[in-house]
Chain A
Amino acid sequence: MKHLKAINSKASRLEAEAESQKHDVFALQSGRDATKQPHIPVGCSLAFFPGWEVDSAGGTAGLCQPAERDLYDCYADCFWPAQVPDHLNRYPDWSKKCAAATQDWRNLDVVFP
């Protein structure tokens, strides 16, 4: 059962992880090891320019504030093709209804390709 699996004890979690996870640390653990990389919650993009859901530290503090400031830069060259419409292919006019995303963001569309 999926939800119960998510809280298996740490030992079996570590078993399931590949070598690449060696450096993951879960936020619950106290005493951070400076050599460990943050665990980015699954579902977040790992493209950190500075990031979509999270920045490279696994939080939101490093993202553009507000995110709408950055939104069209994300869209035009397609930095986050799984989260933001792609200007180059399917949605060339996505920014047309809204000149400054921070101000006119309510005119944006959510799309389902």
Chain B
Amino acid sequence: MHKRLLRLTSLLLAISSCALCQEASAQNAPPQDVTKETEGGIPVTDRLTIAKCGGCHQADSHGNLTRISWIRTTPEGWQEAIKRMVQLNGLQLGPNDARQIVRYLSEEHGLAPEESQPVRWFLEMTQPQTEAIPTPAIRRACASCHAFAKPQSWRRSAAEWNLLKNMHIGYFPLSQFVAFSAHGEHAADPNAPKPKEPVEEALAYLSKTYGLYSSSWSNWRAQMTDPDLSGRWLITATLPGKGKYFGAMTVARVSPGEFTTQATLTSIQDGSKVELPGKSFLYTGYEWRGSAKAEPYGNVRQVMTLSADQAGLQGRWFWGAYQEFGFEVTAQRENRDITILGTDATALRAGAKNVQVTLYGSRLPADLKADEIRLGANVTVTKLFSVNPTMAKLAVDVNEKVIPGKRSISVRGHTVPDAFSVYDKIEYIRITADTALAHTGGAVGKKGYVQYEAHAFSNGLDNLPNTADDVDLGPVTVKWSVEEFISHNNDNDKEFVGFIDSNGLFTPAGDGPNPQRRLQADNIGDIWVVAKYAGKDTATPDPLETKSYLVVGVPDFLRFDQPEVGSK
């Protein structure tokens, strides 16, 4: 008994002292190095990439190159990284080699279509109204200087996310103060435990949500192909301020992933044509990057994605110093069957009779009959004036009882949804952007314009405005003006920041200090942009009016941009 007790006691003592020494050693242990890689990497196998990058990014026995093997991103992401290697790390690399390396890395270290979906706007260089960022701390850490979409365009191991933080501090030491920490914000109780730094919260989130491996990427990598996109593609496009365009693009393969393109778009507003001869590249099996020389716009850049069935392309073709102008483009492969693209009609009113409408498509049959063109309940094609393979001219009646909403067009079983709208009254209008940013320019920087549109809305079945069931009836012609936004007394921003024309194009004023303003302020400011609609089809007798908030800011003196991915 005694012996057992002794043994038990000594066992207990051993356990407790062991626990103590564990705790002691934990306290004395050096802090864990969060930049030490613990995950498996994606080996780099391309000879050129190894040759050009392996000098600094050492290979291990698995063929992983440091840093590179633990990162995935878009073609733009790789292009930006390579440029930094050239500018700041002494890499010598010609544009052809760079292009090849970007191509390889986008393929083996890219993003799956699902993964790049939330950042399409960033790649297409539009400005959304807001960015969905999980917490204010993450917003501070990751979106104080650039969009959150920037880190969102990358996938990294946990160690790599920490190394990204290091890179920011190393090159931009103030990022610690401006973004990463909560400096300057005193806790109410100085004795309270310090909250996590915003950057730590962000790193935890990014490591968890945007890690190196994902089922999306594994699935995509397995099925990724290098499709031959040669052929004819039918296009539907809209240009804010100008409206709908229909057309076609011929694509011819030059080499794997490289194409020449020739597109023609016709405006339904005035019949004018835009010719876009160009080149394009396909990265990661679905990322289209191209450029075309198009009058009168100049160099038009193209960012689109190829659909999973490889028969559709969707994205934006854009230009402008701030990439503020562009076509929203949808393209589909022309096939042997009838294709309906859409119509020049935007919204048809209940009770309208004999409305002249043009249908656009491909391979429209010569023997097409009026009653074969289905426009939905209470909308009837009364006459078919003419038909050729790409256009049919019709007359349409719209019944009084029609339910407001979007309509599809169907011809012999070939359908295009949401082709036009029908409505009873325009209940309200809204400007396409609630808030926007323009930039002064002309002498040093170029101007940053804003092209506005106003859309008409019907309240939908619930008959309440600003609810989920409201119907967007498309652009309407409005009277544009600007009004003073009172942010402080007598600033008179309206007089200095620029003007809006009858088509909704806001042209900002010139850059530089203006001696006519108080303290020689620049021609920057904040104003209301106002749209007034005075059509006879409104729900109320008074004209409809709406406003949007516009900030006119200083030029950007620096732009991170990678047009190289779409040009040669």
Contact = CB atoms under 8 A, between A and B. Distances in A.
Interface of A: 1-7, 9-13, 16-21, 24, 26-28, 39, 41-47, 49, 52-54, 57-61, 63, 65-68, 77-86, 88-90, 102, 105-106, 108-113
Nearest to B528: A27
B135 A46 contact: no
B444 A52 contact: no
Contacts of B488: 61
Contacts of B557: 83-85, 108-111
Which 7 pairs between the two chains have the least Cβ-Cβ distance?
A66-B513, A27-B549, A53-B553, A65-B521, A59-B487, A65-B519, A41-B435
Contacts of A11: 466-468
Nearest to B497: A60
Contact of B87 (A1, A18, A66, A90): A90
Contacts of A67: 522, 524, 554
B319 to A, nearest CB: 15
Interface string B181-225: 000000000000000000000000000000000000000000000
Nearest to A49: B178
B436 A41 contact: yes
Interface stretch (B137-145, B290-298, B356-364): B137-145
Which of B87, B135, B139, B557 has the most chain A CB within a 10 Å cutoff?
Answer: B557
Query: In terms of DSSP, what is the predominant structure of the interface of chain A?
Result: loop
Q: In the complex, which range does the number of interface residues on chain B fall in? A: 35 or more
B413 interface: no
Nearest to A26: B434
18 contacts: A2-B316, A9-B466, A9-B468, A41-B435, A43-B437, A47-B179, A59-B551, A60-B526, A66-B512, A78-B172, A83-B557, A102-B520, A105-B511, A105-B512, A110-B445, A110-B446, A110-B557, A110-B559
Interface in B144-192: 144-147, 171-175, 178-179
Interface string B521-562: 110111000000000000000000011110111111111110
Contacts of A82: 145-146, 558, 560
Given A45-B144, A66-B520, 11 more contacts: A2-B124, A3-B453, A9-B466, A11-B466, A18-B134, A54-B551, A58-B526, A65-B519, A65-B522, A83-B558, A102-B520
